[in-house]
């Protein structure tokens, strides 16, 4: 609330212009056209607080949670790390000291095995673990099941007897391309009108971080460190992820 009050003061004093092309997310909501979106009230500080807080939680904690579980799974499955490194070396152009550190979306899209590993980690440890739907009125599902407003419906991808195993190959077709799973089955980014707006951005961010770390470092879990999930709005590790990070001497 202090940040919102400070921003309003800056605009009033002319220090910051709400029409600026470089305005931040908070200013964008302050300048929203209420004739198009009547349910929004940019004059209400509580509305602005709740909206910005939602973006902070959705854009930071979920990505951090996903990467934490992803790297933990890699430490348990070193053969997956090896395959990802091989794919990076084969499909990503080598960088020189003069090159930018970022990767284009076209380059990242070539990393099919990395994408599969990311999706598999999200399937096993979704950052937002409780994703259920309830009807607003009595209805009948396509399967023929009758549901009431009090019914909580949860979806799960059928993965067979080895569903608890970490297998990126599940997400790769026989031709070597990524397998598309409908969002109503793979709910890590929600589905329908409530699909995460930042899905592609989040995947790009996580892949970029993964590539840079996997390319340049070895990660090992600290001996004796216990991994325990905490069921909450965001699926986090109770004690965090304690690791030993070593610079790779052989980057082949």
Q: Detail the residues annotated as belonging to a binding site for heme.
A: 196
For residues 239 and 26, give the distance between their C-alpha atoms in angstroms, rounded to a whole number: 33
Comparing CA positions, the residue from 198, 201, 216, 193 lying closest to residue 89 is 216
Residues of each annotated binding site: 196
| Cα four-point dihedral sign 101, 107, 109, 110 | negative
138 in helix, strand or coil?
A: coil
Place of tokens 């990467």: 67
Q: Kind and range of the H or E element at 54?
A: helix 45-56
CA nearest neighbour of 177 among 123, 121, 118, 116: 116
Q: Dihedral through CA 78, CA 169, CA 234, CA 244, nearest 10?
A: 10
């Amino acid at each position: 609330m202090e940040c919102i009050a400070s921003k309003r003061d800056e605009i009033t004093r002319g220090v910051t212009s709400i029409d600026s092309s470089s305005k931040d997310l908070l200013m964008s909501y302050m300048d929203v056209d209420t004739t198009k979106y009547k349910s929004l009230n940019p004059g209400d500080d509580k509305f602005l607080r709740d909206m910005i807080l939602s973006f902070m939680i959705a854009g930071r904690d979920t990505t951090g949670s996903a990467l934490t579980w992803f790297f933990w799974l890699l430490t348990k499955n070193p053969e997956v790390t090896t395959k990802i490194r091989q794919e990076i070396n084969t499909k990503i152009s080598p960088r020189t000291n003069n090159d930018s550190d970022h990767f284009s979306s076209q380059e990242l899209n070539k990393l099919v095995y990395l994408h599969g590993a990311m999706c598999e980690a999200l399937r096993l440890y979704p950052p937002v673990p409780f994703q259920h739907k309830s009807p607003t009125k009595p209805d009948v599902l396509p399967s023929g099941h009758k549901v009431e407003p009090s019914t909580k419906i949860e979806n799960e991808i059928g993965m067979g007897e080895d569903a608890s195993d970490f297998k990126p190959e599940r997400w790769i077709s026989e031709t070597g391309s990524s397998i598309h799973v409908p969002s109503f089955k793979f709910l890590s980014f929600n589905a329908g009108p409530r699909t995460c707006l930042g899905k592609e951005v989040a995947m790009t961010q996580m892949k970029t971080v993964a590539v840079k770390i996997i390319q340049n470092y070895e990660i090992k879990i600290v001996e004796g460190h216990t991994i325990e999930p905490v069921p909450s709005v965001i699926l986090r590790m109770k004690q965090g992820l304690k690791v030993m990070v070593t610079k790779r001497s052989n980057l082949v």
